[in-house]
Amino acid sequence: MDDEKVGVALEYSGDVPKILAIARGLLYDTLIRIAGEYNITVYRDSDLAQALSLLPEGSEIPEPLFKAVSEVLAYCYRINSEFKIKLDNMGIL
């Protein structure tokens, strides 16, 4: 895999998580900075980010990556009470 930093922003507002944005290099740094400014939880997994970055933005997460992405969402759920409230309001939990 390439050593370039890659970040993938996920959106989960429907049935299946989707790739909201993919950022590499300097844009990765901007993505992380913006996430910090908006108190968005950042989960670091370079292998998963590399795999997800091969997909087009806006695409749904493919079934083979469901487990890995669900672990990311579970992590966010555990550490971010606002994320939990959002999922509760959506009737997911």
CA distance 87 to 81: 10
Q: What CA–CA distance (Å, rounded) separates 73 from 77? A: 6
25 — alpha (psi -120 to 50), left (phi > 0) or beta?
left
Q: Tell me: the pLDDT tens digits for 29-60?
A: 999 999 999 888 899 999 999 999 999 999 99
Domain ranges of the chain: 6-89
pLDDT, position 1: 47
3-state secondary structure of 13: coil
Q: To which CATH superfamily is domain 6-89 assigned?
A: secretion proteins EscU (3.40.1690.10)
In angstroms, rounded to a whole number, what is the distance separating the alpha carbons of residues 56 and 27?
16
Confidence of residue 22 (pLDDT cuts 50, 70, 90): very high
Contact in structure between 75 and 43 (CB atoms under 8 Å): yes
Q: What percent of the chain has pLDDT over 90?
A: 54
